[in-house]
Amino acid sequence: MSNFLPNELVKRLNEQEGFDSAAFNKVHEQGDKITSIRLNSLKQDSAPFENVNLVQWCDKGYYLAERPIFTLDPLYHAGCYYVQEASSMFIAHILKEIGLENSVTRALDLCAAPGGKSTLLTSYLGNESLVVSNEVIKSRANILADNMVRWGTANVVVTNNDPSAFNRLPGYFDLLLIDAPCSGSGMFRKDHETIDEWSLANVKLCSDRQKRILAESLNSLITDGYLIYSTCSYSKEENEDILDWILNEYAFESIPIALDSDWGIEETQSTKHQASGYRFYPHKVKGEGFFVAVLQKKENQSSFSRKKIKFEKNVVPSKIVSDWVEERQDYTQFMHGDYIHIFPKNYEEDLRWFQQVLYIKQAGTNIGKWTGRELLPSHDLACSIHIRTDLPAKDVTLDVALQFLRKDSLEIVDFTAVKLGWCLIQYKGTNLGWIKILSNRINNYYPKEVRIMNL
């Protein structure tokens, strides 16, 4: 591992007026670890840790005094919060500034894994919006789907597609978020091992990749729709130069975002078009390296044919659904194989359009498997904010909760007061998953693919 930052990187940063290379180098040498979380306000209304400080640009974000072992916190597994780098939470401020907080918005998070920005979108856009959360790499798409399940909302579609697939939905999305794959210099303080992997050649490779991703997805944005473009790179070639490239090739307009001068965020401008961008330097903000910019599409974007699609007959027994899910007029249910899903009624036809052109991993909330006689409830339902609150449940101690999360056997003596059948395991009033209580044993239904492997 190198003890020094790449000379070429620092040299280029020094070309920026007023850049403090001594402070920049020092903060990387110190290597302080900063931990921040963002609350899921639909499940948790206050930070579950002591001695926290608010992230100034995100009213749901908190800095922690020290980094706990999140694996040992059942509330982490329950989706009560997301461990997210504070600089990335600036997108919450952007959504407020451009008027999309609690709106009716069709949003695409194009490079979404592991899910931090998608969970942020669902929290701030509100339940009247639809979030399509996409990841091109299959293994990462599985992680993305798990994190979206934990968050618990049904207005999400998780897809596993190359960016080019979204060209088949021209003029559909109101918001396109591209947190582009990059050379990663903004993470040097957090991960020193990446320093030796950095090179100008990789910066060029990433810049070319970013242009390809943009070129293959910008048609999916509606006229006057917003593009939020971000990287965790310091390199101008991946940041301001990309803004100039977009403004050269497409009809977009740069949208400035109001800042509080106390935040330490640096506003920059691209060389040719003076497009506004926002840089986060770890010697100036309490966060890692980050770049973000907002552009608004101004060209007249034609749309795909939004013809009516004939729905298959809904064979879902509505009484079964209402036995498990809070009744809502704005949600519908559908069958996918043997599984029942709930989904926002306003976007039911949209989902049919997606099915024509995208590979969908998950749509809405899978509430369980219908056997023809009964519903076998899913883990997704246990995590859902739409689950009925009067279902059988048992609040357990931390030790029992961790046993459950390891998918260990549970002692029947701990559940003698609970009647036989399906029961939710809760910790501090929050659902963790399902058990089934039988006369002589407890069956643990926590999914083996997300269980705690080591403590």
Query: Which residues make Cβ contacts (< 8 Å) with residue 44, sequence separation at least 6?
Result: 75, 80, 81, 430
117 is in an annotated binding site: yes
What does the alpha-carbon distance between residue 120 and residue 125 come to, in Å, rounded to a whole number? 8
What radius of gyration do the chain's Cα atoms show?
A: 23
116 is in an annotated binding site: yes
Map tokens 């302080």 to a residue: 32
Helix axes 138-151, 116-125, angle to 10 degrees: 40
In order, the DSSP letters of 217-256 are: TGGGEEEEEEEEEEES---GGGTHHHHHHHHHHS-EEE--
237 is in an annotated binding site: no
111 is in an annotated binding site: yes
What does the alpha-carbon distance between residue 304 and residue 134 come to, in Å, rounded to a whole number? 20
What does the alpha-carbon distance between residue 344 and residue 332 come to, in Å, rounded to a whole number? 6
182 is catalytic: no
Residues 132, 354 contacting (CB under 8 angstroms): yes
Q: Which residues are paired to 341 by β-bridges?
A: 334, 366
Cα→Cα distances 155→158, 282, 343, Å: 10, 35, 6
Strand order in the sheet with 339-344: 331-336, 339-344, 365-370, 375-377
364 is in an annotated binding site: no
Alpha carbon 448 to chain centroid distance?
23
59 is in an annotated binding site: no
115 is in an annotated binding site: yes
Map tokens 């579950």 to a residue: 48
Out of 58, 182, 206, 232, the active site residue is: 232
Cα→Cα distances 166→116, 178, 215, Å: 21, 13, 11
In order, the DSSP letters of 91-131 are: HHHHHHHTT-TT---EEEETT-TT-HHHHHHHHHH-TTSEE
The one-character DSSP state at 370 is: E
Catalytic residue numbers, as ranges = 232
Binding site per annotation, positions for S-adenosyl-L-methionine? 111-117, 135, 162, 179
Binding site per annotation, positions? 111-117, 135, 162, 179
